[in-house]
Amino acid sequence: MSIHLGANCYGKAECRLVRVDRDGPRHRLTDLTVSTSLAGRLEATHLTGDNADVLPTDTQKNTVYALARHGITAIEAFGLDLARHFVSGPVEQARVTVEQHPWQRLGDHSFARRGDETRLAVVTADARGAWVVGGLTGLVLLNTTDSEFRGFARDRYTTLPEAADRILATAVDARWRFDGLDVGWDEAYDDVRAALVDAFVQTYSRSLQQTLYAMGERVLDRVPQVAEVRLALPNRHHFLVDLAPFGLDNPGEVYLAADRPYGLIEAAVLRDGAAPAGPSWEWAGR
């Protein structure tokens, strides 16, 4: 029987980093979670325990904080700086994942944490170049009408009634792949997020799949630097409560918001003729 080492990598996960810019009386707060992952000539450490080519994960953590001292603009730019720094010698490929946690400004130096929405960037670098994937999670959206679900397939186990008018709610998990690095990262993020929201609001939905495609299509229409969008949309079901036992009607006003189980709709929307993706692992975690 032949046995060999397969694909492998190692790194430091979830380094918590808060940077305060104090250039004037109005401070700027940046709250990040940074994970690094390195791959390369690692056969010796796996097969014989020889660590000569292993850059300690503690060193990777220290590098995150050291590079943060030079300033953080967009998280994509910070991820590029980190990934490129690590690619040398035995490290042939580096992936850096940066999550940005938003805070709402309350004053010149006061802030409040703003919900669960998180901005993401995944940067991969190797000898060929670098690739950037932007993203977000926890963007919760809801339409109270203009959504239906009818004409679906049925079998002996189908009990779901058709819905001519329903609440449509989801928590968007999105990734988008940039075609190149000549990008205004903050502007692109704002444009992508706005496109996702606008499409959700403006689409009459006959299925969550239709809404997903409209959201991805809107991003590609508005942001030419994006080559591909991948979306995962959980269907946050809202069930009309039966109030008849209490002698009450319920004309679409009182719902039970169920957290599980839930439908999960996933798809990619791609631009025709876009450059192919870089290393496949840049989509890891999705």
| Catalytic-labelled residue, pool 33, 57, 118, 137 | 57
CB atoms within 10 A of CB 44: 14
Where does the chain have alpha helices with state H? 43-47, 57-68, 75-86, 185-202, 208-222
- Residue 26: what residue type? R
For residue 36, indicate whether it is catalytic.
no
Rounded to 5°, the CA angle 257-262-264 comes to 135
Side-chain half-sphere CA neighbours of 188 within 13 A: 27
Burial class (CB in 10 A: 0-12, 13-18, 19+), 156: exposed
In angstroms, the CA 51 to CA 44 distance is 7
Dist. CA 121–CA 73, nearest whole Å = 13
> Coil, strand or helix: which one is 18?
strand
Is 63 annotated in the active site? no
Q: Pairing mode, if any, of strands 91-100 and 28-40?
A: antiparallel
Query: Which is it for the CA torsion 255, 256, 259, 262, positive or negative?
Result: negative
8 A C-beta contact, residue 34 and residue 97? yes
70 is catalytic: no
Annotated active-site positions, please? 12, 57, 237
